[in-house]
Each structure stands twice: as C-alpha cells, then as structure tokens.
C-alpha cells in the first residue's frame, strides 16, 4: 500500500493528507476476531457501497450487505478525519459490542478510498490527472 506520493511536476504532496491508518487501527482495536474476519470478507466481496459523502463535515454513509443474510444495513461514519471525535453507527441488531462487522467493513472500505485519493475535496481537482487513468 502506497501511503504517500508527490506530484512529479510540482513536488506537492498529494492524496495523503487524508491517509489515516487509524481507521484500520480502530477496527483492530475494537473488533473481535470474528468481527474483523467477517468485516474483511464483506469488504473483499465488495458488499460496501458508498451512499453519501460530505467532505466538509467529514461524514460518510455506506450501504453494507451482510455476509450471511441478504440484508443491507446503513453505516454512518462521522468525523472520519478527526479520530478523537470519530463516530460510528450501524443500523443492524448485532451492534452490541464496540464495533460490528458492517462497521468494520465500512471502515476498511473508507480507508481504501482515502488511500486511493477517492475522497478529495473539490478544490484539489487539478490533481486529477494522477488518477484519471
């Protein structure tokens, strides 16, 4: 995983002001082994869909399909750029522990999107020639 890179033209560091591995750390710290395993599975199958993203308020909503049941749950992530105020919510009934498998899958997807520079604010669109392939 490439954590940071520079624009070859300007030398400006891009895409990684937002590379915050603490989202994954959060999963590994709060998730049980089963939650992590199933969260990974849900993420790797591609069951995590972006519904809504607000860069300014750093809030993002995913629609996550369960790995066992054909049920979709919405996962709400708020303040993903500010770990101290990170807030996670899932609509599922298995959400009794610190984190459920849907939240784990959503955070893995969110981390991946951040790493790939998919969640840029509009004003950095001039950097898009890096990702437009």
How many angstroms separate the CA atoms of 88 and 56, rounded? 17
Closer by beta carbon to Zn ion, 15 or else 23: 23
The CB-of-66 to Zn ion minimum distance in angstroms stands at 8
Closer by beta carbon to Zn ion, 16 or else 95: 95
Contacts to Zn ion from residues 52-91, by CB under 5 A: 90
How many angstroms separate the CA atoms of 124 and 97, rounded? 38
In angstroms, the Cα distances linking 61 to 13, 80, 89, 109, 133 are: 27, 11, 10, 11, 26
Contacts to Zn ion from residues 91-110, by CB under 5 A: 92, 95, 100, 102
Site of interaction with Zn ion (CB under 5 A): 90, 92, 95, 100, 102
């Amino acid at each position: 995983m490439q954590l940071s890179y520079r624009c070859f033209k300007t030398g400006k560091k891009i895409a990684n002001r937002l590379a915050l591995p603490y989202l994954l750390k959060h999963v590994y710290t709060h998730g049980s082994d089963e939650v992590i395993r199933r969260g990974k599975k849900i993420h790797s199958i591609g069951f995590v869909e972006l519904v809504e993203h607000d860069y300014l308020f750093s809030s993002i909503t995913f629609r996550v399909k369960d790995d066992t049941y054909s049920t979709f749950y919405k996962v709400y992530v708020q303040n993903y750029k500010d770990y101290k105020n990170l807030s996670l919510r899932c609509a599922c009934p298995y959400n009794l522990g610190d984190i459920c498998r849907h939240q784990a899958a959503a955070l893995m997807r969110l981390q991946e999107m951040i790493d790939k520079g998919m969640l840029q604010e509009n004003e950095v669109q001039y950097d898009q020639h890096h990702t437009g392939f």
